Amino acid sequence: MKGITIFITLSILLFGCKKEEKTADEWSKLAIEKRLEIGHLIASTPCNDISEWSIFTYGEPYSCAPTYFPTHPSIKDKFDKLWADYLYFDQAHTKAMIAEGVIIDPCWGGEWFHHAPIRLECRDNKASLVYISELDVEDSEAEIAIIYPRIEKYLSELTCESNEGWTYAMLLDTDCGYSYIPYKYANNDTAIQADIALYNTHRANIINKEKPGCNNHKNEAFDGIVCEDGKPVVKTKGY
C-alpha cells in the first residue's frame, strides 16, 4: 500500500511539472524580454575606456540577422546567462512556429550586406556600436572609391569552361536599382563576398540619405549565366 501511495505521489509531481505548451507569440514575448534585459545590462554598465570593451557576435556574417552586442568583462557572467535564456526562448519560438504550420524559408539571397558594426564608441558614458548607416555620405563615397576597384579586378579575372556551377550576387546601383555579378560557390571567395557586402551597404547608406524612398528604377530578372569566350556572362530578361 505504501508503494502505491509513493507511485501516486510521484505521478502527481511529474504531471504537475509537465512542460507547459506555449504559443509562438508567447515564446516570442519571452525572447524579447530577455533581449531587453541584455540591453539594460549593457546600458547600465559605465563606458569610460572603450578599449576594455569588445563586440559579441552570434551568427555568420551572411546569415539572416547576425547579432552584435558590446560586452565588458565585468558583466560576462550575467550576459552569458541572459543570452543562454534568450537562445532557449528564441529556438522554442521557432519550433512553435513550425508546429503551428508556419513555413520558414531559407533567408540567403543574392543581396549581400555588411551587417557588422564598424567600431565601438563610448557615447554618454555608454558603450555603443557604430554601423555604416550612421556614416556621412562623404565617408561612404570614400570607402566605395576604395572597394569598387577590387570588385572590378575580380570581374576582370573571372574565367569559365562551362555554364555549370555559377550563381550570382547583386550589386546596388546609384539609381536605386541593381546589377548581377557572376559568382561560383565552389571558389568560396570570402574576400569578394566581403567587398560586395561592404559596397552594397555603403551604397545603401548613400541612397537612403540622398534619395529616401527611391524606387524609380527598372530591373531585369536574372536569367542564368553562360560561358562566352571563356568569361561568365549574366543573362537577364524583362519582368
Residue 171 has pLDDT above 90, yes or no: yes
The pLDDT score that the predictor gives to residue 80 is 97
Residue 173 lies in a domain: yes
- Counted domains in the chain: 2
Give the end of a domain, one of 130, 160, 182: 130
Pick from 107, 80, 106, 85: nearest CA to 32? 85
Domain span holding position 171: 134-237
My answer on whether 191 and 89 are in the same domain is no
Give the end of a domain, one of 130, 153, 181: 130
My answer on whether 188 and 120 are in the same domain is no
The pLDDT score that the predictor gives to residue 66 is 83
My answer on whether 123 and 24 are in the same domain is yes
My answer on whether 24 and 104 are in the same domain is yes
Residue 26 has pLDDT above 90, yes or no: yes
Residue 13 lies in a domain: no
CA angle, 202 as apex, 191 and 112 as ends, to 5°?
50
Q: Whole-prediction pTM value?
A: 0.77
Residue 205 lies in a domain: yes
pLDDT tens-digit map of 90-119: 999 989 998 988 877 655 555 788 989 999
My answer on whether 91 and 161 are in the same domain is no
As a whole number, mean pLDDT of residues 143-149 equals: 97
My answer on whether 125 and 185 are in the same domain is no
Report how far residue 210's alpha carbon sits from residue 221's, in angstroms, rounded to the nearest whole number. 26
Residue 1 lies in a domain: no
Q: C-alpha cell of 233?
A: 556572362
Residue 17 has pLDDT above 70, yes or no: no
Q: How confident is the model at residue 8 (pLDDT cuts 50, 70, 90)?
A: very low
The pLDDT score that the predictor gives to residue 2 is 46
Give the end of a domain, one of 99, 130, 161: 130
Residue 177 lies in a domain: yes
My answer on whether 124 and 147 are in the same domain is no
Residue 139 lies in a domain: yes
Residue 10 lies in a domain: no
pLDDT tens-digit map of 201-222: 999 999 999 988 776 566 778 8
My answer on whether 123 and 29 are in the same domain is yes
Query: Which one of 3-17, 44-58, 225-239 scores highest in mean pLDDT?
Result: 44-58
pLDDT tens-digit map of 56-97: 999 865 556 689 999 999 999 999 999 999 999 999 998 999
My answer on whether 125 and 145 are in the same domain is no
Q: C-alpha cell of 49?
A: 575606456
Residue 65 lies in a domain: yes
My answer on whether 59 and 147 are in the same domain is no
Report how far residue 43's alpha carbon sits from residue 49's, in angstroms, rounded to the nearest whole number. 15
Judged by average pLDDT, the poorest of 10-24, 65-79, 147-161, 178-192 is 10-24
pLDDT tens-digit map of 222-235: 888 999 999 999 99
My answer on whether 25 and 117 are in the same domain is yes
Report how far residue 234's alpha carbon sits from residue 169's, in angstroms, rounded to the nearest whole number. 11
My answer on whether 160 and 209 are in the same domain is yes
